[in-house]
Amino acid sequence: MPFATEVLNDPTIPASLRQQALDRIFTDPGLPPSFTTSSFWLQNPQKFEPKEKSLPEEVDIVIVGSGITGASITRTLLQNGASSPSILMLEARSICSGATGRNGGHIIETADEYADLADTLGVEDAKKLLRFRLAHLKEMLAVAEELGIAEEAQARKVQFLSVYFGEGPWKDALERLRRFKEAMPEEATEWTSFEGDSIPKDFLLNRARGIVAGPAGALWPYKYVTGILAHLLEKYPAQFRIEEHTPVLAIYDDTASPTPTYKVETNRGTIKARHVIHCTNAHVSHLVPGMRGRIIPVRGQMSAQTPGDRFPCQAAAHSWLFNYDRGFDYLTQLPKGQMMLGGGFAHGEHGGLAELGVATDSEMSLYIDIHLSGALSAVFGRENWGRVDGESVQAMWSGNMAFSSDGLPWVGRLPGAATRRAENGEWVCAAFGGEGMVQAWLCGRALATMLLVGDGMLVKGGDTDLSWFPHQLLCSRERFDTTELLRDVVDGSIP
């Protein structure tokens, strides 16, 4: 069952509270608020000064949103566009200040969901989805190396440790691992497990019942994206432009134009564009109202913490997932030692229900704050953690994720029923379910390729092969017609 539907159908939560969450989900998420919590990642932000004060009157493509999705789409369009498309990226706040600039910086696919995917979609489709997600680690680290931003972005490969404390969850994890390794032995070569006395002492996880380990990555997400965008601005100065603090207020069909064109209204003027790409994740349905009830905003929470004086820096070696009876936390460590801990969702009000339908990052959950602030010394053991001089929590902030009603991202050309405008050149790439680091980059590449091929702009001899892209992620009218949540709780559930 998809995450959002599972929470909304929790029978332990009163139906009235679940109805309130549904009402939030179907409400316009609006623009990102100007007042936000302060993300650790966004310290010393990079300036993106436009060469001209006024906006261009017309461009080929407007990209709404400046996170990892928008960066991937822009890079693919500029590298593979034959007719030198002009691209304008618009950001309501400062560059990469939304979800990407607030996430955990964790490139991790545990393959734990292979079993569920195989049961619901079949073995072959499950393998294709897993290969797609697993490909992000190599791809994203390769891009960082290619552009010379790996050191600045602290992009590195590590071994993830997915830690289980209870007997039941551990046995389930072993069965899921067995199924994954049996079905995908080539991809699973780096996966292993430890339990009981076999758990290495230097993991400092004395209270663990068992651990699944495999390849993962970690990076400073803001520096990764801004490094890519800075490179593109330098390489393609005549084609690519970024405008910060320029929210898109509305989109209209340009009925006076002889060719399909949109008028994109901003706080600084209106731009004509042949294509508009929505990369705003939790805020997509502000400009695409038909996606309400299909793309669901969810507020998440992150922290930057000082490790105890007995905990050695493992930034180059490990990242972590801590699996509890309900919910999980995720953790990476920076080379300078800071522990970047996020999660705690299930510890939020009403088991996290209060975070569903919330598209603002200006507030935080007290209960999640309490959980995250005390989790690390407990999971590693106080004897391994030691003492912290001064304030243990350096920063605590929130950010917005987007989940879909069917549990999969939306990628492709939007049907007119979603935009309520002409069905020509509006596109969406969103709803990564809190796992954008192993979905967004290649979703962006796929969407850009679809646009170039469909518009006849692909460079001669360019790669048109999208056989690697899972078809379940495509934005189709059939999917649109069958995935809207019901607006009311009926007999205690949401069918």
Strands, DSSP E only, in 233-294?
240-243, 248-253, 262-266, 269-278
**Environment class of 465 (CB within 10 Å of its CB; exposed 0-12, middle 13-18, buried 19+):** exposed
CB 185 within 8 Å of CB 176: no
The 3-class SS string of 305-350 reads ECCCCCCCCCCCCEEEEEECCCCEEEEEECCCCCEEEEECHHHCHH
Q: How many CA atoms lie within 13 A of 286 on its CB side?
A: 25
Closest C-alpha among 108, 170, 114 to residue 320: 108
DSSP 8-state code for residue 425: S
**Torsion angle defined by CA atoms of residues 112, 442, 321 and 199, in that order, rounded to the nearest 10 degrees:** 70
Q: How many CB atoms lie within 10 A of CB 250?
A: 11
Q: 332: helix, coil or strand?
A: strand
**Tens-binned pLDDT, residue by residue, of the chain (495 aa):** 677 788 898 889 999 999 999 999 999 999 999 999 999 999 988 888 877 889 999 999 999 999 999 999 999 999 998 877 999 999 999 999 999 999 999 999 999 999 999 999 999 999 999 999 999 999 999 999 999 999 999 999 999 999 999 999 999 999 999 999 999 999 999 999 999 999 999 999 999 999 999 999 999 999 999 999 999 999 999 999 999 999 999 999 998 888 879 999 999 999 999 999 999 999 999 999 999 999 999 999 999 999 999 999 999 999 999 999 999 999 999 999 999 999 999 999 999 999 999 999 999 999 999 999 999 999 999 999 999 988 999 999 999 999 999 999 999 999 999 999 988 899 999 999 999 999 999 999 999 999 999 988 888 777 889 999 999 999 999 999 999 999 998 766 665
- Take residue 424 and report the two structure tokens written for it: 């020509």
Region 1-495: CATH code: 3.50.50.60
CA distance 94 to 32: 11
CB 339 within 8 Å of CB 333: yes
CA distance 223 to 226: 5
pTM: 0.97
| Domain boundaries of the chain, sorted by first residue | 1-495
